Amino acid sequence: MSAETPRLSSEHAPIGHEGVWHSKKPPLQLPAYIQNIRNALMRNGHGESEAHAIAVGAVKRWANGKGKVTPEVREASAKAVAEWEELRRNHP
């Protein structure tokens, strides 16, 4: 939903009290876009791990120009992928 993309890609929606990889100090968060996609998948019945994998895969696919997505979705996806890769690179 392109109309929702600006909000979904900028407003975080964490689940639980621990961060990514159970980080606590500081708690690391997934990129906002990935969090929101993951949460939508979980509302549709996917488990957290599965939803996480699907969300990351989807934004990577959209960022690479695959799928019928708008330029706004492609741009938000590319930003989320860059944030995700940075998070992975810097995780202790």
**Alpha carbons within 13 A on the beta-carbon side of 90:** 10
The residue type at 23: S
Q: Global pTM?
A: 0.82
CA-CA distance, 8 to 47, in Å (whole number)? Answer: 20
The mean pLDDT of the chain is 85
**Closest CA relative to residue 6, chosen from 33, 30, 31:** 33
What is the spatial distance between Cα 60 and Cα 12, in angstroms, rounded to a whole number?
A: 19
How high is the pLDDT of residue 25? 67
Q: Would you state the pLDDT for residue 80? A: 96
Does residue 1 carry a pLDDT above 60?
no
> For residue 29, what pLDDT is reported?
83
What is the per-residue pLDDT across 20-58, written as a single tens digit (0 to 9) for each? 656 666 767 889 999 999 999 999 999 988 999 999 999
Q: What is the pLDDT of residues 58-91, one digit of tens each?
A: 999 999 999 899 999 999 999 999 999 998 888 7
Alpha helices in the chain (DSSP H): 5-8, 32-43, 48-63, 71-90
Say whether pLDDT at 7 is over 90: no
